[in-house]
Amino acid sequence: MRVLSGIQPTGNLHLGNYLGAIRNWVKMQDEMPAMAAQAGMANNGKNADSQCFFFLADMHSITVHEGREQRIRNVRDMAAALVASGIDPDRSVLFNQARVPAHAELAWLLNGTARIGWLNRMTQFKDKAGKDREGASVGLFVYPVLQAADILLYQATHVPVGEDQKQHLELSRDIATKFNTDFGADIFTLPAPIIPKESARIMSLRDGTAKMSKSDPSDLSRINLTDEDDAIMTKVKKAKTDPEPLPETAEGLAGRPEANNLVGIYATLSNSTPDTVCAEFAGKGFGAFKPALGELLVETLRPMRQRFLELRTDDAALDAILDKGAAKATAAAEPTLRAAYDAMGLMR
């Protein structure tokens, strides 16, 4: 069992990034020994290399224009955020793509396998390229091929991602199948996406119909990983709501996007469900609910913030974590990369 996922190192991490992506990785890392043991029983105990790989997709980030210093900062910020959120670099392999050239090498080999027609169907490209398709970079177009390389290099079996990445995972499977068939070799494992059921989509605190995002001009719309306790409290208290009290069940949240979002955040943070949260606060107004939510957020985020700020004071230590992860990743990727070159008759 090989778990692998990547995240683009973008600055200004917020609650949406944590609850929507990073927290799922931490869960998978922590549950890995038990899951692997279970899979191992059905697999004659061959679970020796069950492992989690988590990386910063900095090579993908070239599709967004960014200055040199900012990009360097973003990678260290995201690395620190992952460690502060519970990714343990001793148990999981944590690195950035640029430190492992095998990603770029395999992506080039897979460019011979991927078809233009397949890439033309990718909705993320269409969304990001917008109307000016001819003006979009080639990097943006072949982005999913690099993503396939990220996954196939490590024989990943389970890839935790958001719903929006499902199509890229299907493409990775198509590329793996075609490569295996074309070169008559069973080189790549077909990866399966792991999409959390209660897919936490955290919405803006100012507008329950817009997603919480780093690019929202209003800082009151999001909770940042670096927000102090009182800033978190203020933002929750200022969050948009409606005048109705909380309903008895989650059904009563229909048509109330802001209320639904706040209850959803509370449920996710407390490992509960919207129904349970509604049952607890039924009939109470937001004047009672917001302080409880603020408190829960403060208690959850404080230790992460403190660890993050501590890690961010030592660039060399962070770089050493990434170097160590990259060395492990390079070693894990080498047999597959070698087999791919060899299958194609490329001697290196």
Nearer to ligand ADP, 21 or 148 (CB): 21
Q: What are phi and psi of 54, to 5 degrees?
A: -125, 130
- Residue bearing tokens 């959120």: 85
Choice among 178, 211, 240, 328 that is catalytic: 211
Q: What six digits make up the tokens of 55?
A: 């990386």
Dihedral sign, CA of 107, 113, 117, 118?
Answer: negative
Is residue 161 a contact point for ligand TRP (CB under 6 A)?
Answer: yes
Residue 8 marked ligand-binding: yes
Q: What are phi and psi of 94, to 5 degrees?
A: -115, 125
Is residue 60 a contact point for ligand TRP (CB under 6 A)?
Answer: yes
Q: Using CA atoms, how far apart are residues 171 and 154, in angstroms rounded to an integer? A: 16
Nearer to ligand TRP, 164 or 315 (CB): 164
Residue 147 interacting partner from ligand ADP, ligand TRP, none (CB closer than 5 to 8 Å by kind)? ligand TRP
Residue 26: C-alpha distances to residues 60, 82, 301 (Å): 22, 9, 15
Residue 214 annotated among the catalytic residues of the structure:
yes
Choice among 214, 290, 324, 328 that is catalytic: 214
Nearer to ligand TRP, 163 or 248 (CB): 163
**Least distance (Å) from ligand TRP to the CB of residue 340?**
17
Span 126-165, contacts to ligand ADP by CB under 6 A:
162
Nearer to ligand TRP, 60 or 173 (CB): 60
Is residue 196 a contact point for ligand ADP (CB under 6 A)?
Answer: no
What are the DSSP calls for 53-65, one per residue?
EEEE-TTGGGGS-
51-56 vs 2-7, strand pairing mode: parallel
The residue ranges that bind ligand ADP (CB under 6 A) are 7-8, 10, 16-17, 20-21, 162, 200-202, 211-215
